[in-house]
Chains A and B, each alone.
Chain A
Amino acid sequence: MNRRTLLATLGVGIPVAGALGWGVSEWMLRLMQSPASPSSPMQQSIGSPFALTDHAGRRVTDTSYAGTVRLVFFGFTHCPDVCPTGLGYIAEVLDGLGDEAAKVRPLFISVDSSRDTPELLASYVTQFHPALIGLTGSEAEVAQAAKVFRTYYGKVSTGGDSYVMEHSASIYLLGSEGTLRGFLDTHEPVATAVSKVRLALRDTAPNAATPAGASS
């Protein structure tokens, strides 16, 4: 029980540390001897409540995706490198899941509410995968979403009117109950991420009455 609590704390430690600065994160990284394996569900409820607009212009909340396994990635469309890398990775994971991809909701939450309109997000996310869902909102709505995912973002001027956003590079994996099950890491082979998502799908399947691991 203690171990589980510790894992849950550490699992969200990385994004939180981004907001708090070096001292805290070094402390957390020292505690975190090895990342929690995907088979050790962190069980921490995360990512609720939020209210945003999806790329089709529909108002949505966290409950719109309740009951599904979710991949959640924060970024912005004007991000040329890290966001396309993350989204490209998610697209490969979805392809790797085959038919099971239909059970997963991949959410890209923009931290750039002033530039990322639903319409722009629509043309952006669909470049990567037709199943990707872009979410945006007012500054307050985006701040709320970031808060419930305990993630950091900030605006950095690059001269004149132009700016970039700095943001967490984490890809959250949420179980169907809305619990944090870990993170996907773009440095890992796609097959590793596919396994993590499959575990989440299996463990949280509606009629998963059999013990985990019994059927594979």
Chain B
Amino acid sequence: MKRRVLLATAALTLAGRGNAQPSSMLVAERAWSRPALARIGTAVTYLTLRNDGSAPVRVVGGSTDIAETVEIHESVVDNNVARMRPRPEGVAVPSGGSVRFQPNGLHLMLMKPRADLRAGQIFTITLRLDNGATLDVPVTVAAREPAAGHDGMHH
């Protein structure tokens, strides 16, 4: 169990491009994707982003080798009807706070995966931040959400 939590909580520090910004530290936790078929043309990734830095950070997009594009979307179940809308404005993670991308809510949408995503596979999504920095996030493909790590939840 402990090992599992450790694996699921691969914390990453912000890799600044050009000017390093030691004050802003974004951590991605419990990133996972559902298995998906390439021929269907979409896949989804969920994760929790925690901002340990002193400045707010906005995630504005991402990319991955395994799909053509990565978009930030949000599902809204409104009046019992499920809809999905793009979030081109991205998602702000407040200083000292966290944002959860989770089923039936915020998600990263992978358009046109180049191959099927199979359970157990690990791939990388590079998130693009508004301050010009990027964050590499290892994503595990799993049929179900990984068990919650003790430090994975911030309410």
Contact = CB atoms under 8 A, between A and B. Distances in A.
Contacts of B75: 81-82
A85 B103 contact: yes
B35 interface: yes
Contacts of A127: 35, 37, 143
A136 interface: no
Interface in A13-33: 14-15, 17-18, 22, 25
B81 A169 contact: yes
Given A92-B144, A123-B37, A124-B40, A166 B81 contact: yes
B79 A22 contact: yes
Size bin of chain A's contact surface: 20 to 34
A204 B137 CA distance: 49
Size bin of chain B's contact surface: 20 to 34
B34 interface: yes
Interface string B85-105: 000000000000000000110
A88 B81 contact: no
B39 A78 contact: no
Interface stretch (B22-30, B41-49, B120-128, B147-155): B41-49
Q: Name the residue among A84, A120, A123, A156 with the largest chain B CB count within 10 angstroms.
A: A84
B83 A78 contact: no
Nearest to B118: A127
B44 A18 contact: no
A163 to B, nearest CB: 11
Q: Name the residue among A80, A85, A168, A170 with the largest chain B CB count within 10 angstroms.
A: A80
A86 B150 CA distance: 26
A164 B83 CA distance: 9
A186 interface: yes
Interface string A1-44: 00000000000001101100010010000000000000000000
A88 B104 contact: no
Contacts of B37: 123-124, 127
B40 A82 contact: no
A127 B80 CA distance: 25
B107 A168 contact: no
A50 interface: no
Contacts of A120: 39-40
Interface of B: 34-37, 39-44, 73, 75, 77, 79-84, 103-104, 107, 109, 143-144
25 contacts: A15-B80, A22-B79, A25-B79, A25-B80, A77-B40, A78-B42, A80-B36, A80-B44, A81-B107, A82-B77, A82-B103, A82-B104, A84-B103, A85-B103, A88-B103, A92-B144, A120-B39, A127-B37, A166-B81, A166-B82, A166-B83, A167-B81, A168-B80, A168-B81, A169-B81
Given A82-B104, A91-B143, 15 more contacts: A25-B79, A25-B80, A80-B109, A81-B44, A81-B107, A82-B75, A85-B103, A88-B143, A120-B39, A156-B83, A166-B82, A167-B82, A168-B82, A169-B82, A169-B104
